[in-house]
Amino acid sequence: MTRPNRQLSVNYYAKSCPQVERLIGSITSQQFKESPVSGPATIRLFFHDCFVEGCDASIIISSKQQGNKMLAEKDAPDNKDLREEGFESVRKAKAVVESKCPGVVSCADILAISARDYVHLAGGPYYQVKKGRWDGKISMASKVASNIPQANFTVDQLLKLFSSKGLTLEDLVVLSGAHTFGFAHCQNFVSRLYDYRGSKNPDPIIDPRLLRALRMSCPHYGGNADIVAPFDVTTPFVFDHAYYGNLEAKLGLLASDQALSLDPRTKPIVQALAKDKQKFFQAFAAAMEKMGSIGVKRGGKHGEKRKDCSMHML
């Protein structure tokens, strides 16, 4: 991993593409109106990008372009249900930016700025995005599984993964708050509903009303693989701090969400954020900046500026 932040700056494109944020904003605001799910889809895309090989848009590379040599990150099993809206949002923003500032702005920076835009459009904080990431030259599906948290992770497993990225216990709890909007497929939580950790019973912690509702959507076997449920049952499309209050009320969707309100190390952070929306917003903006500087690439042998975000420069 390269040293973070050394090279990122808010004004990175001040001379070369001063209107970059306005150009991207014209796309994100339109996409958000037409398809609100673009918000959580793009933030998840950014997270999955940064945790594998750093924030370098390696998640957007198409396997087709790499020939048969190597499956790209995008096609790893853990990335199969990343929604197309996230990729589409970056593709459209890139096209607009290229038309005004050709060859200047990286796909990695476009993804970071778009993620911020959607947080804000959905009611969350607006924060400055540091820029200067280059696009990565490597995208390998085989690197994904060991770097992405699973829905049944314990706090120990989550902490180990986040620490390996230079993120703290607090960063873990704060970034999990992105689950204040968006949806998960049944397969990510169905074991909690019927056979929690091999017990043949549901997870005893889950609120009985939520359990009933989720069981109606997600049968134990043979359900529709496309069915989703909201992470935040109270305000599923709004970026707020309700996620934390839900965890306190045993309304967390994933085992890895609910675990945060049970473990003595993370519980006090959950309680503090449940009480104070501004505190969450400030902490989230800071944690996004920190996550956004993981494994940043420069030009030269590790970095490129792609013309088409799905294709390496040849």
> What CATH number has the domain bearing residue 193?
1.10.420.10
212 and 273: one domain?
Answer: yes
pLDDT at res. 1? 45
Mean pLDDT of 19-27: 98
207 and 189: one domain?
Answer: yes
Segment 107-127, tens digit of pLDDT: 999 999 999 999 999 999 999
pLDDT at res. 90? 98
In a domain, 226, yes or no: yes
**Res 2 pLDDT > 50:** no
> What CATH number has the domain bearing residue 70?
1.10.520.10
pLDDT at res. 63? 86
Q: How confident is the model at residue 222 (pLDDT cuts 50, 70, 90)?
A: confident
Residues recognised as catalytic: 48
194 and 238: one domain?
Answer: yes
pLDDT at res. 306? 95
Segment 39-67, tens digit of pLDDT: 999 999 999 999 999 999 999 999 876 66
Q: How confident is the model at residue 225 (pLDDT cuts 50, 70, 90)?
A: confident
52 is an annotated ligand-binding site residue: yes
111 and 163: one domain?
Answer: no
pLDDT at res. 298? 85
Give how many domains the chain has, as a whole number.
Answer: 2
Q: CA-CA distances (angstroms) from residue 139 to 136, 228, 299?
A: 8, 28, 17
180 is an annotated ligand-binding site residue: yes
103 is an annotated ligand-binding site residue: no
In which domain, by residue range, is 191 found? 155-289
144 and 161: one domain?
Answer: no
56 is an annotated ligand-binding site residue: yes
182 and 140: one domain?
Answer: no
40 and 95: one domain?
Answer: yes
235 is an annotated ligand-binding site residue: yes
Segment 173-211, tens digit of pLDDT: 999 999 999 999 999 999 999 999 999 999 999 999 999
**Res 130 pLDDT > 90:** yes
pLDDT at res. 34? 97
149 is an annotated ligand-binding site residue: yes
222 and 260: one domain?
Answer: yes
Q: How confident is the model at residue 68 (pLDDT cuts 50, 70, 90)?
A: low
Q: Which of 120, 148, 176 is the last residue of a domain?
A: 148
pLDDT at res. 4? 44
253 and 161: one domain?
Answer: yes
**Res 20 pLDDT > 80:** yes
Segment 255-289, tens digit of pLDDT: 999 999 999 999 999 999 999 999 999 999 999 99
Q: Which of 108, 130, 148 is the last residue of a domain?
A: 148
**Res 3 pLDDT > 80:** no
pLDDT at res. 312? 87
pLDDT at res. 6? 55
In a domain, 13, yes or no: no
Q: How confident is the model at residue 159 (pLDDT cuts 50, 70, 90)?
A: very high
240 is an annotated ligand-binding site residue: yes
Mean pLDDT estimate for the chain: 94
180 and 264: one domain?
Answer: yes
73 is an annotated ligand-binding site residue: yes
In a domain, 104, yes or no: yes
